[in-house]
């Protein structure tokens, strides 16, 4: 009898469409932008299968080992999810990676990919980005007797409940929401917009990569701008006061001309 592999999956129709698309995408791609910043692209299905080579924990391990000298890791995500086994190991690796970690949701952070993003210190979602969180599910192809099916179904349901509960803990830790609220959202199994994800607490901000990395003004420059703005405000009030005083000043009549006798 084949033991099923629990997986976080989308509804069958959507999953089939997304798998067909992501199967044509390359697995995790690693790149070092400079000596201090490394980039990891998680574009595709989490875990391998008979049909495709997806994002695996072993592949992520190799990429992270190449980033040992970097102080920041940018994680770009566009994934419909996949194997919870692989996702758990990927999350653990990213969580213990030393250095600043920022997750950028470029397109979709669904299912198992949604909690991989939570291993980052900050999560930034593109304006058009989407999220989806839901309960663990599985697909089984096997031959059962009535008795073995009852036993198998009961055992598998219990295992899926355990996976869903452990994943819910990650969402609770990120969002600060009550477990009941998180579980209710997982039960709804609904796609969330970037704004809905922000309101729920899954993402820390909505921005493009460029917006999130725009250079901040130096403290001295900010102080100078504030001082200049204050001086302009004082000058404007002074000019307004002078104009008011000029209007209040009484006008004097000119003395009539007197002709000499």
Q: Which residues are catalytic?
A: 111, 134
Residue recorded with tokens 């033991």: 3
What is the chain's length?
261
* Dist. CA 4–CA 2, nearest whole Å: 6
Strand partners, 131: 109, 192
State the number of CA atoms in the 13 A half-sphere of 141 facing the CB.
0
Residue keyed to tokens 């250095």: 99
- The one-character DSSP state at 203 is -
Distances (CA, A) of 48 to 21, 59, 62, 164: 15, 11, 16, 21
* Nearest residue to 125 (alpha-carbon basis) of 199, 204, 200: 204
Residues with Cβ < 8 Å from 67, sequence gap 6 or more?
30, 32, 38, 40, 73, 97
């Amino acid at each position: 009898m084949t033991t099923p592999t629990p997986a976080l999956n989308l509804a069958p129709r959507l999953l089939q469409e997304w798998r067909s698309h992501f199967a044509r995408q390359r697995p995790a791609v690693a790149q070092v932008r400079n000596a201090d910043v490394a980039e990891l692209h998680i574009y595709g299905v989490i875990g391998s299968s008979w049909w495709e080579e997806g994002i695996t924990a072993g592949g992520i391990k190799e990429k992270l080992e190449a980033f040992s000298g970097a102080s920041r890791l940018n994680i770009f995500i566009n994934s419909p999810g996949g194997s919870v086994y692989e996702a758990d190991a990927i999350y653990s690796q990213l969580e213990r990676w030393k250095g600043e970690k920022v997750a950028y949701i470029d397109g979709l952070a669904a299912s198992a990919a949604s909690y991989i993003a939570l291993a980052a210190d900050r999560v930034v979602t593109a304006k058009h980005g989407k999220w989806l969180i839901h309960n663990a599910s599985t697909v089984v192809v096997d031959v059962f007797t009535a008795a073995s099916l009852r036993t198998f179904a009961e055992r598998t349901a219990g295992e899926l409940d355990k996976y869903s509960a452990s994943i819910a803990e990650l969402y609770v830790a990120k969002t600060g929401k009550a477990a009941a609220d998180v579980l209710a959202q997982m039960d709804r199994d609904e796609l969330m917009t970037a704004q809905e994800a922000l309101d729920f607490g899954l993402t820390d901000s909505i921005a493009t990569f460029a917006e999130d990395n725009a250079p901040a003004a130096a403290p001295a420059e900010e102080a100078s701008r504030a001082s200049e703005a204050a001086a302009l405000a004082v000058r404007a009030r002074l000019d307004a006061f002078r104009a008011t005083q000029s209007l209040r000043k009484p006008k004097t009549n000119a003395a009539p001309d007197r002709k000499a006798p």
